[in-house]
Each structure stands twice: as C-alpha cells, then as structure tokens.
Structure 1
C-alpha cells in the first residue's frame, strides 16, 4: 500500500532542495539580468511552451503587479503572428527546461533577428536555447519529483522561484512601495488594506462631541444618542481636548462626589488614543491591538473628526 504522507513529504523535500540549489545560480549573470530589466524602457516579453508557458504567465502577472511591465507570448503562437507583440525596446525572457523543444528552436532565431536581448531561463545550460541567448539563468534540477522523472514538478518549482527572485529584486531596483502596489490592487481585501483610509470609515459614524464645560446630563445624552460608547471633548474651534467613555462615567459615579457640578473636563481622559484620518485603516487595527482597545479618535491635525471602531475594520474584512 502507498504511504501517501511519505510520498507527499518526499515531494516537498525534493522541491525544497531544488529551490535551495538555486542559490548557486544567483551569480553575476543574474545581477546583470536584473539590471537589464530594471533599465528596460519597454516590456519584458516572457515566453515558453507546455508547463513552462504556465510558469511564464505567473511570472508575467507578478512582474506587472510589482512595477515591471510584462506580457506573455506563447512560443507556439509566436510563430503564427504573435511575434508582433515584441517591440523595439522590449526584452525577451524564454523559459524552458530542456531548451531544445522544437517550438523553442524555431522561435529563438526569429527573436534574434529582431535584435532584442534574449534571456534564457533553462534547465540545460548546454541546450540550443542556452547557447543562443545573451544571458542564461540556470534552473537545473537533479530530478523531477514525479516518480517516473517525467512530469514537470521540481523543474517548474525552480522556474517559479527564480521568477520570484527576479521580481523581488526588481521591486527594490524600482523602489516600488506599498502605495504603488495599492494602485495596482484596488480590489478585494488586499486592496482595502492598502488603500482604505481611516477617514473613509470614520465618516460612516455620527461624531459625538461635547464642550469642556458641558454638564453631566449633556455628556450622557451625547454618548447614548451617538451609540459609540464614547464622546470627544473639544474646544470651540474643534480642537481635541480629551475623551469620555461610558467606563469613565461609571467610575465617576462610583466615587462619593456631587454630580450636580460635574462638567466634561472633570472626568475626561486628557490623552486619549488617536489616529490621523489620512492613515491607512490597517494602521488603526495595529494601534488598537497594541493598546488592547476597540476604538480610536480620528483627527485632522488637532481637529477632531470622528471615531473609528474595531467593528468597522471587521465589517470591511481588514481583520
């Protein structure tokens, strides 16, 4: 009987070893390729055949999402018109395990005739592709994880990892920031984490506030009516002076004091936890977690703008 767990672990061990083996191939040629791509005024045209073509598509997607313009050209379709995708300032990256596939042997001379730089990501440095390329990225592996050593498994994992290494280096070369990433990923939860601002969420609430000399009745009504369990204390110009929570009210009532003369400034916390409205909403989450609280007062400079609550972040899927 097959030991499924053992087979699975063996597969992962072989693929992990293949990725570890790529360290030996991060050399001066790799550095030159990164510099060439980083300075490219056109696009990186990535091509391949079979499973390598699928890896090429993923690398293209990663490049495009991280600031390196790229497009995919299937090696078989290239010789039937798709070569028109290649423009004068483009770079061509050809991915192949063997480097000797019939389609690759047809494609390579055509690309060379265009005069574009040709980079080979190849598992056989003695292949036709490797010998014809300007630069060679070695992704050789000892064997496939497939028990017959046939199905592309370890080899495609190595190609994928090498593509990621290129993409991450290019992020550094281009100085690609989280803000840049957000521009290319506006959709879904990832997009929200990268572009949604504190002010986008706080504007959905009422804005509880009282003046420093507001009496206790006014404070209680404001907290109750706005249903956030808190009110800010602001001066006449809207500058934040402090905050009062329903917990502050309970603690005050537990004391032996006359409530008739109590005003907001007597019971407020003078240094409540705040955040600027232009900060990312995910930063609000980090601050709430840091102080083990569920809400923050939102400011524009020193001007009080509203409240952001943990429930806002949950509702938007940021947590």
Structure 2
C-alpha cells in the first residue's frame, strides 16, 4: 500500500471509530440528562464548566456555545480552581465537571471542594463509577469504547464525545428558551454571520451616492449621472417616487438601437417597474433578490420614497455574499 493510501485508510478509520462512538451516545441520553438540562434552565445562576488537560479545552468550547445561545457560562480550569479560582463559583451557579476517567488527581482534589458548597454538580464522564460520577448530582454519560488513537491513549474519541454531549446540552437549553435568530444576532454582531442576521439595507445604502434623474432628463445628463455616482445605474423619479431605472446595460442597448441619441430623454430608454427593496429589509434578503433576478443593483425605498441604489459590491464588501 502506498503512503497516500495508508494515510487515507488511517484517516477513514479515525472517522469511523469516532462516528460509531457518537452514534452510541444516543442510547446514553436518559432521564438524568433531561433532569440536568431542566435544572440549568430553571437555575437563576450561571454554568461554570471545569476540567483538566484536553477536557479543559473541550470545556472552553462548550462555554462559548452556551454563551452564544443564551445560557451564561464561564470556564474555570480545574488546576487553577484548587489554587484560588474556586471564587469564580457564585451562590446560584451550576458546576459542570468534565473528565473521561473521573479519577484524575486534580479531579479527586476538586470534587470534595465543590461538594462543600451548595452548588449543583453535573459530571460529563465516561466512568459513572468514578469519584466524580459518584459525587455528582447528575451524570451525563460520555462513555466511549476506545480512543481513535491506535494505542488507545491519546484523547480523541472521548473528547469528541464530550463535545457532542456539550452541544446536545446547549441546543436543548436553546430550545427550552425559545432562542431565535434575532436573539442569536444580539450575541453575534460581528463578522459575516452577525451581519446576515442584523444588517439592513439602510445601513449599507446610506454610504452610497444617490443617482437620480427625471423622466425628461436628456440622455447625456443621464450618462453623466450614472458615471459620476459610480453605481452602474440611476433611478428615474417623479416627485420623489420611483418610476423607472436606467442601467449601464440600458445605455449600451440604446447605443445599439439608435443612430442619433441627441433628442432622447430618460423615459425613452428607462426600464419601468424596476426591482426595489425597502430600506428596513435585511441586507441578506437584498442579496437573495439580486441572485434570483440576476441583477447587480436594487433601488431602495423608504416611507418618503426613493432612498438610493444598493449595489452587489456593497454586499460583497460587507461579507454578506
């Protein structure tokens, strides 16, 4: 077997091992899992998640997922907890401790300290009979038969299982909270994801110049308006209301059709009933409208009438595409 084939075979084996383990987790979701979710949902406090080694890394990801889906959470490293960070835990907080074995030295020291308080302790572990499993108020079973590591040593399948249990926990809480895309946008205002959820046409189009001509504007002035405003189109308006649009394409078609353009005006070459969108519409909806109609500009309207031109390049620049 060539090196390429051997590498692909190992990779496929890892994926197969981990996918089998994840699929098995479905059979481990029980009433105790439901009770733990319900407790967190009804608790007035935060979720404090702790772990050691690779489990600590998984804990930070679960914290991030919970925070972004409406459940306040903080990370507390298990090693740091026994050296002063126990003060992270507040009165009404729920503590989740992640450990495959549930019996590591740090966990054995930490668990009794956690039990000294009145906080509820939830374990995510592959060993329900461990010290952690026995002391926890709720145990979320993350049992895996073996690691993807051929020596069954490096945390691979086990950390994947922990992550999946954390995701399941977060999404169950999201569902209970009725967490919507609008709520999601509050926690994700930056980047393309956030912009798709909150950025509106008005926010983009205000930075553009506003090309506008009347139906009686002569063609030369129309061309100048399109050129100077640099959006590849101009609205044709009457008393502030849109009656048509003229694009670069309309100008090219005019030049092909007419030998003498000196007497032409905007109404002779404009397209009537142009595609338009409300200024308060989401920018992502404008993107969908452009794609559906194979156009690169949209006229924008608000309660006062014509409000500007939105160009495809605006949306690309904002990361909507």
Shift of 1:141: 0.5
Q: 1:228, 1:256 → 2: CA distance?
A: 24
Q: 2:304, 2:293 → 1: CA distance?
A: 21
Q: Could you report, residue by residue, the CA deviation over 1:105-162 in whole angstroms, capped at 9, with x for unpaired residues? A: 2222222221111111110122221122111111100101111111111000000111
Does the Cα contact within 8 Å between 1:120 and 1:130 map onto a contact in 2?
yes
Shift of 1:176: 2.5
Matches within 5 A, 1:109-188: 109-188=112-191
Q: Give 3-state SS (helix, strand or coil) of 1:228's partner.
A: coil
**Ranges in structure 1 where 5+ consecutive residues have no aligned partner:** none
Q: Please identify runs of 4+ aligned residues in structure 1 that moved more than 6 A.
A: none
Q: Could you report, residue by residue, the CA deviation over 1:237-274 in whole angstroms, capped at 9, with x for unpaired residues? A: x2222212232344455557986765434443332112
Q: Give 3-state SS (helix, strand or coil) of 1:97's partner.
A: coil
- CA 274–142 in structure 1, closer or farther in 2 if over 3 Å, else same: same
Q: 1:221, 1:10 → 2: CA distance?
A: 64
The equivalent residue for 1:276 is 278
Is structure 2 residue 84 aligned with structure 1 residue 81? yes
Q: Give 3-state SS (helix, strand or coil) of 2:116's partner.
A: helix
Q: Over the residues paired in the alignment, what is the CA RMSD in angstroms?
A: 2.3
Q: 2:79, 2:249 → 1: CA distance?
A: 70
> Given the alignment, which residue of 18, 21, 26 partners 2:24?
21
The equivalent residue for 2:72 is 69
Q: Could you report, residue by residue, the CA deviation over 1:29-79 in whole angstroms, capped at 9, with x for unpaired residues? A: 222222222222111000111211111111111111222110111122212
Q: Give 3-state SS (helix, strand or coil) of 1:46's partner.
A: strand
TM-score (norm 1): 0.90
Does the Cα contact within 8 Å between 1:240 and 1:302 map onto a contact in 2?
no
Matches within 5 A, 1:199-238: 199-236=202-239, 238=240
The equivalent residue for 2:288 is 286
Does the Cα contact within 8 Å between 2:147 and 2:156 map onto a contact in 1?
yes
Is structure 2 residue 38 aligned with structure 1 residue 35? yes
Shift of 1:202: 1.6
Q: 2:35, 2:175 → 1: CA distance?
A: 15
Does the Cα contact within 8 Å between 2:233 and 2:297 map onto a contact in 1?
no
Q: Could you report, residue by residue, the CA deviation over 1:206-261 in whole angstroms, capped at 9, with x for unpaired residues? A: 1111223434344333223323221112221x222221223234445555798676
Does the Cα contact within 8 Å between 2:143 and 2:158 map onto a contact in 1?
yes
The equivalent residue for 2:196 is 193
